A and B are shown apart, each in its own frame.
Chain A
Amino acid sequence: MNGDGGSPHPAARELLGQFRRGEIGRRDFLRAASWLGVSGASAAAAAGLSACAPVHAPVSQDTVRFVCAVQQMTDPALTTWIEASNLFRNCLEFLVEVDADNICRPFLAQSWRPSEDLKTWDFELRPGVRWSNGDAFTTEDVAFNINRWIAPKSKSVNRTAFAALTGIEVTGPLTFRLHLNRPVCSLPEQLYAFTCPMLHRDFERMGADWPKTPVGTGPFTLTDFQVGRQASFRRREGYWGPPPTLRQIDYIDLGTDISTHVAALAAGQVDILYRVSVAELDLVRRLPQARLIRQQAAQTVVMRMQHDQKPFDDLRVRRAVQLAADNAQMLRLAYRGYGVVGENHHVAPFQPDYAALPAFKRDVTQARHLLAEAGHANGIELKLTLGNTQGRFEQDTAQVLQQNLAEAGIRLKLNVLPASEFWSVWDKTPFGLTYWSHRPLGVMALDLAYRSTSSWNESHFNDPQFDAGLDVAMGLIDPVVRSKAMAGLEQILQDQAVMVQPYWAEKFTAVSPRVRNYRAHPSDYFRMDKVWLADA
């Protein structure tokens, strides 16, 4: 069961046993196997599963027109917008891939194997990969990128994301080892973050301006790049993998108004939209020229309370807010039911490290009782700050919460800021609504948002027991054991009433009915190399 012919990780055998006994599902099995460096095909074969059937896509002369912001970019490792990454993802590739099913798969690295303590990870690169300038892709390129990310002067968010990474050791032309100062089971997933594309080792010598020198290992080459207007990519001859199905992709910047994008799709001017929001769903459904695509994702809004700010320094107040909130109603009204109800702990039921807790029940009477105990027998006035950074549904959610809390005597004022203004206060406001994008694993979000030392700890949550539990969970591969550790973490977050986390929101997009094999991705990390257009 080892993809590279070496001995399997000691946990691999136990994993297979758990799958055969029905203790874990297919997805959990494939995911955990991939952590252990076992290829998807080997894992599927060992478990008696049929591996994903390869898509027999025709190589065509088609051009797909994709609505996407074409933003200024120079250094992909410093990119702050996922839209920009969707452009360079056609040319630049990653060591691993987290696919649309949220499963981590080999990419430029064909295998990896962690040590038992998850502090040392051995990677092996795929042989035969060449850059578009003809150079071979080697560990020299990997070392260049990783050393750049973790350099003390690095301005990339990767420096924080890979804080546990102490260094890279090149062990051969195609093999390298990563050293960590603590176990991080999500290391492979982190390598598919949009800021982690592999750049050519001479990137800085070439001017550190990627659109000007668009060297990559990917299936397309950049042929046109006009900020705010259009970018074009052409099929690259001599690509190391299967040839891409499309001849060309044109990214067209139509501004930020999604209604305009839908109108362009309806008029046949474009083929794929970047996204549509819940507000456009009914319109898209009525258009014969549009096909709606839905995608489950661990994206959510979190209404978190800062533990060191009055009145939220009183657990009874936080708990009253949580008990009075009707998460199901927020999902039904503000997001029209397209998602899964949240459980106020920021781990999604469809994330592989989720552990089910007893159902969280709304209890307005208890909320009133707690408020009275806390000295607010006549109710309390609170202010929630939000910025509609992802759309109007944030404000709609807050308005439903406002109605919910009123039943318990909590008078909630909404402080709606322009999105740009909100980002300057998002982690400062005592009670704020923040959008959190999809993360493949629950621990990744918990580590970013609730660890006491994290710079994104917007709730100022500070619990040594939680931090220690997080370290344990991040060092576990066994899904059953990890599930128990995660249950403890989820319970702490729920009991400490850190947040109201009402729902997990689905993602939506729309494409022309001609588009084939296009999949939405929970992180909006789209791959275009196997997409094609059917005949009109």
Chain B
Amino acid sequence: MNKIFALAGVVIKELYRRKDFYVLFVLTAVLTFAASAVNFFQDEKIIRYVKDICLLLIWISSLVIAIVTTARQIPAEREARTIFPLLAKPVSRAQVIAGKFLGCWLAAGIALVVFYFFFAVIASSREHTWPVVMYFQAAWMQWCLLAVVIALVLLGSIYFAAPSSTSTISFIVVAGIMLVGGHLNTIALSQPEPMQSVLAGVYYFIPHLEWYYLSDFVVYNMGCVSWVKILAATLYAAAWTGIFLTLAWLGFRRKNLTT
């Protein structure tokens, strides 16, 4: 386990020594401040649109951080050839995959903590309340989603050598699932066969990432989701993460790496 944590540590160091995170955080902060500075009908109590915009930016930023950071991990190791001194040590390829995953996931988690703290400060400045549990649930679910996304991107990065291809495809897949994944069963009903069966099949065999978007609960102050449901969703995310990581390991295990 120490080896996995050591690998994860390097990933985290890399992320926080690059400019990506800071740029995205500053961009989120600037846009949120700009949005909150607008006075609509001289009513200073209006806040939900600011929360909505801020959470959307947090979603986009964290997704960008997770996807872009993960997509370059294995290809960059291969391109910079740092993979060779690494694999010449007593470390298995499964541990490399696990370490990369853990590093990206923890890095995304740290980013989420920073982003959500900023969000909480902005929201409480007008609402004068700290619904910490609700924020925690939203952040936790987002982190669970990022686990699935990071594992998926890691899998993609084994097969697509260019990080840009992996990032683009991952963005399309994630956005596609978020937007229409939950409606595929409805869409399937209006399609002729065999499209109907294909869409229904896809509906059952994709990770339903749309469940992990709890921003509406936070924006509209709709209270917390049952912890049992959160736990079930966490297990579902863990299962999909495991599936993608296993596939990534299977792809990476027998891959020829020639110096």
Partners in one complex: no
Chain B positions within 8 Å of A, measured between CB atoms, are: none
